[in-house]
Amino acid sequence: MSYDLIVIGSGAGGGTLAYALREMGKKVLIIERGDYLPREKENWDPRAVFINGRYNPGEKWLDHKGKEFEPGTHYYVGGNTKFFGAALLRLREQDFEEVHHYGGISPAWPLKYADFQPYYLAAEQLYSVHGKRGEDPTEPPEKTDYSFPPLSHEPRVQELFDLVKSRGLNPFPLPIGIRLKEDNREQSECIRCDTCDGFPCLVDAKSDAHTTCIREALQYPNVTLLRNAKVHRLLTNTKGTRVTKVEYERDGKTETVEGKIIVLSCGAINSAAVLLRSKSDKFPNGLANSSDLVGRHYMCHNNSAIVAISKKKNPTFFQKTFGVNNYYFGAPDSEFPLGHIQLLGKVKPEMLEGDAPPLTPGFGLKEMAEHAMGWWITSEDLPDPNNRVKVTDEGQIILDYTPNNLEAHKRLMDKLKKMLESCEKHFHIIPNKVYLSKKIPLAAVAHQVGTCRFGTDPKTSVLDTDCKAHDLENLYVVDGAFFPSISGVNPALTIIANALRVGEILKTRL
């Protein structure tokens, strides 16, 4: 079979792109390494998801020392969006410019916020993002309000929201992509459960790429989904100017399929790995890699999860409803950006097992979880060519990464603790005395970006501003790999918006 367009990967980038091109009548093939994620009770079981790794890929990658680890990535229709927390924020307008940090410089993008603005708006509408403009002091320009109202805060969270606001900060409704009708819960797909952030949604109410885009795209007879097919490499014509075939393994057999336009959307790590595995006599360093930048500049954020334990129980179910950006671009005692703060989903006892004091019994973990409020803080890590994806001769992925810009993250952690202590001291309502904090490890790759950066110069970038490889006529990369910098907010909405943008470009080309 030959297709007009082959999209490799069905997550935020690939799934959205396939949706954007579904009505053209062109033959589109989506190749997904995994299968449909099974709908089962274990979707909402924290032990199955977090402790037993029921939905983990079962593969091993190597760190820079050659030590094996299991990556926290997922191969299912919908990709990692099946498990994301659905916090869908735009990059700030200044994030597209050169920004100075404690650890160095975050480079300017070749395109600016205005180039992405209409696609951000379309992405928010498509992914049912609930929010409210005007409360985040750092939010970028937008004349149109969200199509869906902000999520309401449950009483304990509303109490905290009001306290934080009274301390002179600007908490804002966190933009969340779920299908919720709070004014008509009987017809609402979302039931505001306590197993959303980090869990697959058993009732299909999360706006993941599968339920939002792939299902709709497959209603069109010209769109085909090939599941359980792992792409190993791309093959070119003899001149090396075009990709002609995609080679994949399915049911233990190696097969190929032809396409006129090829789009890699495997996630920043696996897309780079496919290009590196596609080396040949003509491309000894891998495909699209004349710049030697494929796999380099890997970024994943400096992320930490913080659990604050209070004397007062926290009966909240759906907790992830507000964020704080007052320190995003700095603070009175910090000339450089610090980052973003948001609430985490409901803390479960199983989530505390590895970080609670040694020998804490099960009932102790349960008690701690019932009094816990979870937070997530994100600081920008900077593009470093030595932070990179490589592959062994056998094709195994090596993730060589050293964290940077850690001073900003340390300061942001201090700001969060002082914010909570201020609420305790002056209101005696949230006496947070105990903190369990954990720097998110190398294996957590949900925010992966940067391995095929886009730009105008083929010597300093892998892709052009259309996200087409400089070196080839028909190869595009449409996932987080194109980011020149990562900003300080979740990258998912920008990946989705960019997929819609590239979709418009490909409509013209097709």
> Is residue 352 predicted with pLDDT exceeding 90?
no
Q: What is the mean pLDDT of residues 319-340?
A: 98
Q: What is the mean pLDDT of residues 316-343?
A: 97
Q: What is the mean pLDDT of residues 353-382?
A: 85
d(CA 43, CA 493): 24
Q: What is the mean pLDDT of residues 9-13?
A: 98
| Domain with 162 in it | 2-508
Q: What is the pLDDT of residue 311?
A: 81
> Is residue 362 predicted with pLDDT exceeding 50?
yes
Q: What is the pLDDT of residue 430?
A: 47
* Assigned token pair, 47: 């032990």
Q: What mean pLDDT, rounded, does the chain reach?
A: 95
Q: What is the pLDDT of residue 437?
A: 79
- Residue 44: φ, ψ to 5°: -110, 15
Decide: residue 94, CB within 10 A, 0-12 exposed, 13-18 middle, 19+ buried. middle
Integer-rounded Cα Rg, in Å, for the chain is 22
Q: What is the pLDDT of residue 75?
A: 98
Cβ(276)–Cβ(289) below 8 Å: yes
> Is residue 427 predicted with pLDDT exceeding 50?
no
Q: What is the pLDDT of residue 1?
A: 82
> Is residue 332 predicted with pLDDT exceeding 50?
yes
**The residue to which tokens 């191969």 are assigned:** 75
Q: What is the pLDDT of residue 426?
A: 54
> Is residue 43 predicted with pLDDT exceeding 60?
yes
Give the confidence band of 368 by pLDDT, cuts at 50, 70, 90.
confident
Q: How many CB atoms lie within 10 A of CB 255?
A: 13
Helix, strand or coil, per DSSP, at residue 112: coil
| C-alpha angle 201-206-209 in degrees, rounded to nearest 5 | 105
Q: What is the mean pLDDT of residues 406-431?
A: 81
Among 323, 330, 344, 320, smallest CA distance to 171 is for: 323
156-187 pLDDT, tens digit per residue, is: 999 999 999 999 999 999 999 999 999 999 99
Q: What is the mean pLDDT of residues 216-223?
A: 98
> Is residue 357 predicted with pLDDT exceeding 90?
no
CATH code for the domain of 256: 3.50.50.60
Q: What is the pLDDT of residue 428?
A: 43
Q: What is the pLDDT of residue 433?
A: 58
Give the confidence band of 498 by pLDDT, cuts at 50, 70, 90.
very high
| C-alpha angle 67-72-78 in degrees, rounded to nearest 5 | 145
Measuring CA to CA, how many Å separate 495 from each of 77, 221, 262, 436?
Answer: 17, 26, 18, 31
Q: What is the pLDDT of residue 425?
A: 64
Type of residue found at 360 = T
227-261 pLDDT, tens digit per residue, is: 999 999 999 999 999 999 999 999 999 999 999 99
Among 73, 22, 23, 40, smallest CA distance to 214 is for: 22
By residue count, the chain amounts to 510
> Is residue 354 predicted with pLDDT exceeding 80?
no
> Is residue 503 predicted with pLDDT exceeding 60?
yes
283-297 pLDDT, tens digit per residue, is: 999 999 999 999 999
96-118 pLDDT, tens digit per residue, is: 999 999 999 999 999 999 999 99
Question: How many structural domains comprise the chain?
Answer: 1
Q: What is the mean pLDDT of residues 428-438?
A: 60
Cβ(23)–Cβ(30) below 8 Å: no
List strand residue ranges (DSSP E) for 279-337, in order.
302-309, 322-324
d(CA 462, CA 294): 7
d(CA 480, CA 166): 37
d(CA 341, CA 323): 5
Cβ(119)–Cβ(498) below 8 Å: yes
Q: What is the DSSP letter of 466?
A: T
- Higher per-residue confidence, 395 vs 435: 395
Q: What is the pLDDT of residue 359?
A: 59
Q: What is the mean pLDDT of residues 421-428?
A: 66
Percentage of the chain lying above the pLDDT 70 cut: 97
Of 69-73, 435-439, 451-455, least confident by mean pLDDT is 435-439
Cβ(339)–Cβ(377) below 8 Å: yes
SS (H, E, C) 195-211: CCCCCCCCCCCECCHHH
